[in-house]
Structure 1
Amino acid sequence: MAMRSYPLSRVYGLIEPGPVVLLSTSHKGRINTMPVSWHTMMEFEPLLVGCVVSGNDFSFKALKATGQCVLSIPTVELATQVTGCGNTHGDQVDKFQTFGLTPMKAEFVGAPLIAECYANLECRVFDKRFMNRYNFFVLEVVKAWLDPACKKPQTLHHQGNGVFMLAGGTIKLPSRMQ
């Protein structure tokens, strides 16, 4: 097999960590959401998720100020809304209204759930040590919601430059995890 050099600027698409999520915040009476695909599971108990939010994003300031957000997991049916949210700025556009997303009251955080997403995770900032240096937030999931009507969700996986892979097929292999 022959190997060839690959541009470092495109490596992201090779190792994307999981489905695109919509990170929602609420700050000073304004709700916002933005797509995030740089995230990772970190721990099971407490349930920790790490994610990178650019310091230039409207959501960064809200998440840093409030310490709360919701990670909503959209399916392929919301692909247009997800890319629309990613191509606009929250300080200029009401993304919920513009893209027809329905905010729902969360139980433990001030940020809204998104009704059209098949899963919603209420989160609080758990560790701030990497926030200022790397824009990396360690979040604790304090409540999870799932739409039982969504039986086989096809999630979006960002590969860069507007290209998304769809997930949804499964295989079952032996595992020691329960």
Structure 2
Amino acid sequence: MRRLKLGKAFTLMESGPVVLVTTHDGKRGNIMTISWTMVMDFTPVFAITTGEWNYSFAALRKHRECVIAIPTVDLLDKVVGIGTCSGADTDKFARFKLTPLPARLVRPSLIKECLANIECKVIDIVTKHNIVVLQAVAAYIDSARKEQRTVHAVGDGTFIVDGRKIDRRKMMASKLPSGV
């Protein structure tokens, strides 16, 4: 094995799906791109990492709700574009031609073009590590959508696209909650 610069170690583990997170500040909606996500356990509790550097963070902290929208590979250029501009001076729904749909239980919008959307409430913010813990309250999937491959950020400007799915549910049955 060859040594890897320690500063690049995160690129070995950052391959969770890139998501779009919508917020609403009371006046208008916004979208931010997040590649640092975590499933907390089999309950619908998730975590994202964000902070003051993201325009949406103030709305997330004040209103304590958001939508996690899961885009697919055909939206990659929009996802990257959303992540490289600020909602402080950009209407990202308009600029990237994304359709906001009303959510049922939170004010931030779902994104019609995404494969899935998860309405969430903030249940904790771990300020020291910029971790926002979210409780899912509703979820939707567009199973009729032709493109369903999600995108995973490596962290260096490159991405990995989902490939073949391998089924080991029978082997893992004793560890999976019923209905999964």
Same structural fold, with TM-score higher than 0.5 when normalized by the shorter chain: yes
Q: Distance in 1 between matches of 2:75 and 2:31?
A: 13
Contact 1:123–1:143 (Cα < 8 Å) also in 2: yes
Letter in 2 for 1:104: L
Offset from partner CA, 1:76-95 (integer Å, 9 cap, x none): 01001000001101101111
The runs of 5 or more residues in structure 1 that have no matched partner are none
| Alignment map for 1:84-123 (pairs within 5 Å) | 84-123=81-120
Name segments (4+ residues, structure 1) moved above 4 Å.
Answer: none
Aligned to 2:20: 22
CA drift at 1:152: 6.0
Q: Does 1:51 align with 2:48?
A: yes
- Find the aligned partners of 1:54 and 1:24 in 2 and give their Cα distance: 15
Matched, 1:175 2:168: no
Equivalent position to 2:157, from 153, 159, 162: 162
**2:136 alignment partner, one of 138, 141, 162:** 141
Q: Distance in 2 between matches of 1:168 and 1:109?
A: 33
CA shift for structure 1 position 12:
2.0
Deviation at 1:151, TM superposition (A): 5.9
Q: d(CA) in 1 for partners of 2:121 and 2:147?
A: 28
Offset, 1:157: 0.2
- Provide the C-alpha distance between the structure 1 equivalents of 2:74 and 2:147, rounded to a whole number of angstroms: 12
Partners of 1:145 and 1:168 lie apart in 2 by: 22
**Residue 62 of structure 1: how far off its partner (Å):** 1.0
DSSP-derived class of the 2:172 partner: coil
Decide whether the 8 Å contact of 2:72 with 2:147 is kept in 1: no
Q: Secondary structure at the match of 1:145?
A: strand
Structure 2 residue 77 is matched with structure 1 residue 80: yes
Matched, 1:69 2:66: yes
Looking at structure 2, the residues matched to 155 and 144 of structure 1 have their Cα atoms a distance apart, in angstroms, of: 17
The CA deviation at 1:33 is 0.5
Where do 5+ consecutive residues of structure 2 fail to align? Answer: none
Equivalent residue of 1:71, what SS? strand
**Overall identity of the aligned pairs, in %:** 39
For the residue of structure 1 that corresponds to 2:58, the secondary structure is: helix
RMSD across aligned positions (CA): 1.4
Say whether 1:4 aligns with 2:2. Answer: yes
